[in-house]
A = this chain, B = another copy of it.
Amino acid sequence: MDFKFTDKEQAFHDELTDFLIAELPAGWADHPVQWPHDYAHSPYRDPKDMEVHESFIKKIAEKGWLTISWPKEYGGQGFNNMQQAIFDERMSYYRAPAGSSGSVGAGIVGPMLLRIGTKEQQAEFIPRIARGEITFWLGYSEPNAGSDLGAVRTTAIEDGDDLVLNGQKCWSSLAHKADYSWMIVRTDPDARKHQGCSFVIVDNKTPGVEMQPVINILGDHSFNEVFMTDARIPKNNLVGEKNKGFYHLMQALDFERITLVGIGGFKRMFEEIIDYVKTNKRNGKLLSEIPSVRYKLAEIATNIEIGYMLFWRTAEMLDRGEDPNVESSSLKVATTELARDMAEVAMEILGPYGQLTESSEWSPIRALVSRGFLESISATIGAGTSEIMRNIIAQRGLGLPRV
């Protein structure tokens, strides 16, 4: 085993680190309000931070770094997946703005279009994703299709040059702030469950697409219910092979599990906790002097290290041309449980102070722990529950029977 970056990777790592330190405002990492592996997406308490956010995304796009692993002809850098992983790690470590749901475009839709899109589709969407101009939401879940995505009922029926969409999507994260949906729909309503589905790209502005906000556990509007009523999209927006959407979905889900991790965020959050326990006393003693605090934090540190390695492994496999289907599932199980464990450990260490929900002189670590505690509830559910992940590991990884 060899855990060293190549010289090229290391050089990119260092260049990026320097860039982030230089370009982000001093103390920036204290501004975003998020727990590692969050799906809740409400990054700032101060609305002014959105300006920094947007101007920073432009800078990253200018460097061509939004999509570094894409071919140069598509606005990428032609870097390998390991460099992409380094980028994700560094960005999340510095809590750098990654574009509002930008990761869906750059992390999932882009790579999928590069693999299964037509030249025309690539030409239409890829450069704009690379420049950070357009954003996507994931149109997977429906009221009766959660873990069981095979049960999607939203139909897309051909009518001349159009596909006519009818149905409903739910848990549509940040759909209201995005431009397009990357949506799975049923193109052959008579086919059996896992057949007859296809991917389409749906413009949010399409007539017949309506959204209803859903307020999440944190009190934020991140989810939406999206209703499609005779919404017409061009047939050309069907991506990949018609009625083979389920085969494509497996790959898209792998990208999602890897993209969402934000592995550097764990390290950063952990460093904040370490700082806090080293500088705060309770009952006459530094928190860091309490043996159980030391053990618990050492355990979290160990699990972060494991998370890092499971993360690098998926990149390494992609670079070898392998599908990290099982490995991305292990990664998701490990890091989402870590997100919960870290919140729980922090809560235990902070005692009643951990429950504070707004920054005040009494709130440890900018009141992030109570947020993380609630936020991480979704981690083991969203993008495939831990139960589904374990099914995948057992069935696809270990070859146990599907019964």
Interface residues of A (CB under 8 A from B): 291-292, 295
Give 4 CB contacts A-B under 8 Å.
Answer: A291-B291, A291-B292, A292-B292, A292-B295
A-side binding surface: helix, strand, loop or mixed? helix
A368 → B minimal CB distance (Å): 27
A292 to B292, CA, bound (A): 7
Contacts of A295 in B (CB 8 A): 292
Assembly CA distance A295 to B295 (angstroms): 13
Copy number of this protein in the oligomer? 2
Residues of B within 8 A of A291 (CB): 291-292
A389 → chain B closest CB, angstroms: 20
Q: Shortest Cβ distance from A34 into chain B, in angstroms?
A: 32
Kindly list the 4 A-B residue pairs having the minimum CB-CB distance in the complex, ordered from nearest.
Answer: A291-B291, A291-B292, A292-B292, A292-B295
Complex CA gap A292/B295 in Å reads 10
Contacts of A292 in B (CB 8 A): 291-292, 295
- Shortest CB-to-CB span from A403 to chain B, Å, is 10
Residue of B nearest to A291 (CB): B291
Cβ of A239 to closest chain B Cβ, rounded Å: 36
CA distance A292 to B294 in the complex (A): 11
CA distance A291 to B291 in the complex (A): 8
- A298 → chain B, closest Cβ, in Å? 13
- In angstroms, Cα B292 to Cα A295, docked, is 10
Question: Closest CB-CB distance, A191 to chain B, in whole Å?
Answer: 25
Q: How far is the CB of A126 from chain B (nearest CB, A)?
A: 45
In the docked arrangement, what's the CA distance between A11 and B177, Å? 74
